[in-house]
Homo-oligomer: A and B are copies of this chain.
Amino acid sequence: MGPGAALSMTETHVDSEFDRALRLAERSCTPGVYDADLDDGWFIGGALHGGYLMALCANALRHRLPDHPDPLTISAFFLSGGRPGPATVTTEVIRRGRSLSHAAVRLSQQEDDGRVERLRATAAFHDQDAAGGAFVCSPPPAPMPPPDDCPPMPRHLDRTDLFDRLDFRVDPSTLGWHAGEPSRQGRMGGWVRMADGRDPDPLMLLVALDALPPVTLDFGLDGYAPTIELTAHLRARPVPGWIRVQHTTRVLAGGYLEEDAEAWDESGRLVAQSRQLVRAPRT
């Protein structure tokens, strides 16, 4: 860690491994620039998990925006794969508003031939507790068996340290690909919670939204499917317990697919949505 006092923006969870992995140290000489030490426990498929990197960046922005500590929407472009070790998080407050503030953030790491940007994101933050507005409509939770009736995630990928951080259960109706019989419907569903019992919050949701196996598997396409861009909308604060997630894809064409995720908490409320543009595996 670099100079400056370590930040703990999620004080209710300070003993969790997720919050330890999100620790930041603001540089006293350059406010708004944070040093981080990317945790090697969040590997999946040869790089650090994109949702973990987004949560780290969102944690830095929370610190910059004390009046608006909750992410409402964050759009991240993934530029290169994150690696364990030192990283720099550079934040810029674009505008502090009455009900919303906007900020940008870049995550970079040093490589042999210079600094390399891993992720660049822009976000709007607000105060979830002050957000009002009528509840007009929201889809009911995607039907799937309860967590105890869903099998754990098959460990099909080479580097899956992520599966030690998260407790995953896969909707068996979306596991056909694992038996060589993908449904080709473009659907993946399951349950996610932190393995160490940490409660869900908006930062955890950024991980949960991109934690299931890629929908490409349900199309019978194995192989590397990198995310180009992911936009998350954090719609409500989740209650403790499991997060139910469903991914769907409508268009797989021209070498790309979109993957939409919806996440519900145990009360049945839709708490987050995301859409990502993914490069299809090259077959």
| Residues of A in contact with B (beta carbons under 8 Å apart) | 72-73, 75, 77, 79, 94-95, 100, 102, 104, 117, 120, 122, 124, 131-139, 184, 186, 219, 221, 228-229, 231, 233, 235-236, 249-258, 262, 270, 273, 275, 277, 280, 282-283
With A138-B250, A256-B72 already in contact, the answer to whether A120 and B94 are too (CB < 8 A) is yes
Q: Are B254 and A236 in contact (CB under 8 A)?
A: yes
- Complex Cα distance, B251 from A139, in Å, reads 7
Give the copy number.
2
Contacts A117-B95, A231-B229; is A135 near B254 (CB within 8 Å)?
yes
Q: A231-B229, A255-B133 are in contact. Are A277 and B138 (CB under 8 A)?
A: no
Cα distance, A250 to B235, chains bound together (Å): 12
**Smallest CB–CB gap between A116 and chain B, Å?**
9
Check A273–B251 contact: CB distance below 8 A. yes
Could you tell me the distance between the alpha carbons of A236 and B79 in the complex, rounded to whole angstroms?
A: 23
Which B residues touch A120, using CB under 8 A? 94, 102, 104, 122
